A and B are shown apart, each in its own frame.
Chain A
Amino acid sequence: MSVERSEVPTDGDLVHRAKRGDEFAFGQLVERHQTASYAVALSVTGRHEDAEDAAQDSFLVALQRLNECRSPERFAGWLMTIVRNRSRNLVRRESLRHTDQVPPGVQSLVPTPDRVAETSELRGRLKEALAALPEVQRQIVLLHDLEGWKHREIADRLELPSGTVRSHLHFARKALRASLGGLPVGPDLQRKIL
Chain B
Amino acid sequence: MRDEVRDEADYAGELDLDDELAQALALLDPALQDPNYWFRFRSWVLTSATAELARRRLMHQLTVGDVMSSWARGVVSTAALAAALAGLLLVRGPGAPAPQPVGVEGLIVSEVEGETMPSLIPPETNGAVAFASEIF
Contact = CB atoms under 8 A, between A and B. Distances in A.
A193 interface: yes
B33 interface: yes
Contacts of B60: 19-21
B33 to A, nearest CB: 4
A113 interface: no
A98 B55 CA distance: 38
Given A26-B49, A170-B3, A183-B24, A21 B56 contact: yes
Contacts of B15: 144, 151, 166, 169-170
Question: How many B residues are at the interface, by size bracket?
Answer: 35 or more
Given A26-B53, A103-B33, A189-B23, A170 B28 contact: no
Interface stretch (B40-48, B63-71, B73-81, B114-122): B40-48
Contacts of B20: 185-186, 189
B52 A109 contact: no
B49 A63 contact: yes
Contacts of A128: none
Given A105-B37, A176-B21, A177-B21, A31 B42 contact: yes
B11 A166 contact: yes
Interface of A: 18-23, 26-27, 30-31, 34-35, 38-39, 42, 48, 52, 55-56, 59-60, 63-64, 103-106, 108-109, 111, 119, 122-123, 126-127, 141-142, 144-146, 148, 151, 162-163, 166-167, 169-171, 173, 176-177, 180, 183, 185-186, 189-190, 193
